[in-house]
Amino acid sequence: MRYVVAMSGGVDSSVVAGLLRDAGHEVIGVTLQLYDHGAATGRKGACCAGQDIHDARRVADRLGIPHYVIDAETRFAQAVIADFADTYAAGETPVPCVRCNQTVKFADLTALARDLGADRLATGHYVRRVDGPDGPELHRAVDPARDQSWFLFATTRDQLASCAFPLGSMPDKRAVRAVADRLGLGVAEKPDSQDICFVPAGSYMDVVGKLRPDALAPGEIVDAAGAVLGRHEGIARYTVGQGKRLGPAAQLGGQKQVVLATDPKTRRVVIGPRAAGTDVVRLREVNWLVPPPAVPLRCAVKLRARDALHPAAVVATGDGAVVRLDAPALPAPGQACVFYDGERVLGGGFICRPDGG
């Protein structure tokens, strides 16, 4: 088979390219240049490409496979970075990795793979594609510590059909590094990537402030009744469930306070006791990997990247969904809510603000 491998220059996608080549496939390495690395790190005159792109090319050289760098700067700036700032400004908490997967990676790269006559697009994500009776299914990775299925919920069934995730069945990261070492890829010891790729230095608030200064305008910290308890330096610094940056209001009446909501119109941050919460979560931009359920579907949902599963029932509503949690929780608008049946991802969507915004 002919594979296009999305190579980031890190150990995971390098190992994917190596494994597929060793299995006798024709492998084409592709690296996306997503943003101007020189500008992002604030280094004048630095190349637009970071070290990772050079690492990816060297890995491809060692594997003896062709490798290409694709300019995705404009697309990434619109679909991911601008969306990141806009989401904060709308009083929500973005997940840029999901947006990137949804647009630049899976939409554009599967199209490129098709254009290049490839059978599959392979990535270094820790998820499994399982071919079931009704077509390809998305499953959690074997290694729960590495599982990235939450970040990939928006992959459509069509995209899934042209994707491969060879690392999903690896027992753990050590095994992946061992393969990199065995293949002599030169990246076996590279540290895992951290945080948000397009803010490699400094604060991501600088990025938000540059694009949406309104999201960093000062405002009031209030309780649910509207009583002013303090001041803040921009709603973008707050996410639902957060207990930090509340100043003296962090403890009220012996109770630890957390953010319950942010309001872009009044620029208010609303706080209350952690025990507060909601059991109804409305979702938008829902992607179903099973037929959309018309009657409530029992499943477990994950409201944050690193969060426990919540038992719930989900029902489809147009291009959205309504989730009824068995026990109240503090879902953060803008984050993803992903539905699981055991290991399998059934679908997911983005959490709406309770006021419907």
Q: How far apart are CA 184 and CA 24, in angstroms?
A: 18
Cβ within 8 Å of residue 293, ≥6 positions away: 314, 315, 316
Residues that bind other proteins (CB under 8 A): 28, 33, 47-49, 53-54, 57, 66-72, 74-75, 104, 108, 111-112, 114-117
CB 279 within 8 A of CB 328: yes
Nearer to other proteins, 39 or 111 (CB): 111
Q: Minimum distance from CB of 346 to other proteins (Å)? A: 28
Q: Minimum distance from CB of 165 to other proteins (Å)? A: 23
Q: Minimum distance from CB of 219 to other proteins (Å)? A: 36
What tokens does 301 get?
């949902």
Q: Minimum distance from CB of 53 to other proteins (Å)? A: 5
Q: Minimum distance from CB of 114 to other proteins (Å)? A: 8
CB 329 within 8 A of CB 303: yes
Nearer to other proteins, 86 or 108 (CB): 108
What tokens does 23 get?
């299995």
Q: How far apart are CA 106 and CA 128, in angstroms?
A: 15
Nearer to other proteins, 61 or 233 (CB): 61
Task: Choose, from 97, 100, 337, 352, the residue flagged as catalytic.
Answer: 100
Nearer to other proteins, 115 or 192 (CB): 115
Closest CA to 56 of 14, 24, 97, 27: 14
Task: Choose, from 47, 48, 163, 197, the residue flagged as catalytic.
Answer: 197
CA torsion 247→250→252→258, rounded to 10°? Answer: 140
Nearer to other proteins, 1 or 111 (CB): 111
Residue 100 bears catalytic tag: yes
Residue 299 bears catalytic tag: no
What tokens does 96 get?
């840029």
CB 337 within 8 A of CB 301: yes
- Terminal Cα distance for the chain, rounded: 46
Cβ within 8 Å of residue 272, ≥6 positions away: 223, 224, 257, 258, 260
Q: How far apart are CA 163 and CA 4, in angstroms?
A: 10
Q: Minimum distance from CB of 104 to other proteins (Å)? A: 7
Rg (CA), the chain: 21
Nearer to other proteins, 43 or 298 (CB): 43
What is the set of active-site residues?
100, 197
